Amino acid sequence: MGTDRAATAGSAQTSSRYPLTLDVAGRRVVVVGGGPVAARRAEPLAECGADLAIVAPALCEPLAALVDQGRASWQPRQYRQDDLGEAWLVHTATGDRAVDDAVAADAESARVWCVRADDAAASAAWTPAVARIGDLVVAVSGGGDPGRARTVRNAVQTALETGRLPLRHNRGAASGSVALVGGGPGDPGLITTRGRQLLGEADVVVVDRLAPHELLDDLDDDVLVIDVGKTPGNHPVPQDEITRLLIEHARAGKRVVRLKGGDPFVLGRGGEEAIACREVGVPVEVVPGVTSAVSVPAAVGIPVTHRGVSKQFTVISGHEGLDWQPLAKSQGTLVFLMGVSLLADTASHLIAAGKDPATPAAVIEDGYGPRQRLTTGTLENIAARAAEVGAQPPAVIVVGDVAALAAQISP
């Protein structure tokens, strides 16, 4: 019976708590206490621009830093009742029950909200555990159990950071923007946390063929998805039109994500898009991605550098005119992107320029995709071996001694 009565009392107490967000900027907030717990309460108040006053005989280092930086004032003495004059809010965290009781009682008499660090049940106000992503604030109250609140907050923070919870603004943005997001080699788990956040906030997504399309399934139904994917020899949406779309939707107040495969600045024309946006005053953010030049070879056990084998690597567009002499003389790894259709020409040019025909080489198709396949050989025979198996783009070509390591490293 006693347990039931206690549970009922606890439930009633929790149900009487009214969640509220306070604007403390420029308003007097008093923190009583000079230790680490008081510091944890004071720091976010200073960040919010509170007129912060600390009352304590001595200060721990973080609180002393706030005072030194001019972000808080300090009364180096014991608490007095008149310390609450002009205060809108008080936090007490002295570690002395009698002092905290006195602060709470004075605050109650003065009609000032008081947060107690020592006894949540006796506190007139609670500080929730807070998760923040940009301008989004999620507060979690643990019903008098701060540890529980922190655990839930951490889970929410992770879900927000990874885009598993919706982040879109329902009232629209004050102004539009463009984010050039590298989606990585195609595996949805290899996009960066920041890229995933921005995708979750997007109103418009302009997506490439090699981007992680699975992530689009999580978008709201009203998010506009524009597929501008290119295949070899087939560019249905020219680059000028892609750039125009980005700018047009951003100027209409939309949050636009340009979702690319790999990294936007590694043979991804992201630089052109960023310049075009900047020139017309559209805010643009560039989010790096895991480039396929490194990740796709790694998927089959080929490191692009390896101690005693290769100290450097060069990333090359495989379908443009190249200066073969310096490439043939390179002592490092050569990584060709978008070059499978010209592989025979590439091999012959390198050999003609002096590259050893016996140099190990590899073709990795559809890295991290359902058709992932590794074909190995030497520079002399790799084109024939790739043709034998019908190698198709997308594919990454590796030329260098590291290609031979796949047999030792690949599972």
Each residue of 270-285: pLDDT tens digit? Answer: 999 999 999 999 999 9
pLDDT for position 232: 62
More confident residue, 216 or 122: 216
Alpha-carbon distance of 296 to 298, in angstroms, equals: 5
Q: Quick one: 226 exposed, middle or buried, by C-beta within 10 A (0-12, 13-18, 19+)?
A: middle
Alpha-carbon distance of 56 to 46, in angstroms, equals: 17
pLDDT for position 7: 40
Mean pLDDT of 125-138: 77
pLDDT at 142 over 80: no
| Both tokens assigned to 183 | 């989606």
Each residue of 161-211: pLDDT tens digit? Answer: 776 776 776 655 568 999 999 999 989 999 999 999 899 889 999 999 999
Instruction: Give the pairing of strands 28-32 and 89-92.
Output: parallel
pLDDT for position 324: 95
* Average confidence score pLDDT of the chain: 89
311 is catalytic: no
Considering the entire predicted model, what is its pTM?
0.68
pLDDT for position 4: 45
| Both tokens assigned to 168 | 């879109």
Active-site choice (51, 118, 203, 208)? 208
More confident residue, 136 or 365: 365
Helix/strand/coil for 60 = coil
pLDDT for position 233: 59
Active-site choice (218, 227, 230, 401)? 230
The domains of the chain, with CATH numbers, are 15-127 (3.40.50.720), 128-161 (3.30.160), 177-290 (3.40.1010.10), 294-409 (3.30.950.10)
294 near 242, Cβ under 8 Å? no
pLDDT at 228 over 80: yes
Helix/strand/coil for 120 = helix
pLDDT at 249 over 60: yes
Alpha-carbon distance of 55 to 178, in angstroms, equals: 47
pLDDT at 311 over 90: yes
Q: What band does 353 get if pLDDT is binned at 50, 70 and 90?
A: very high
Alpha-carbon distance of 67 to 52, in angstroms, equals: 9
pLDDT at 12 over 70: no
Tell me the Ramachandran region of residue 209: left when phi exceeds 0, alpha when psi lies from -120 to 50, beta otherwise: alpha
More confident residue, 12 or 167: 167
pLDDT for position 15: 59
Mean pLDDT of 304-311: 96
83 is catalytic: no
pLDDT at 1 over 70: no
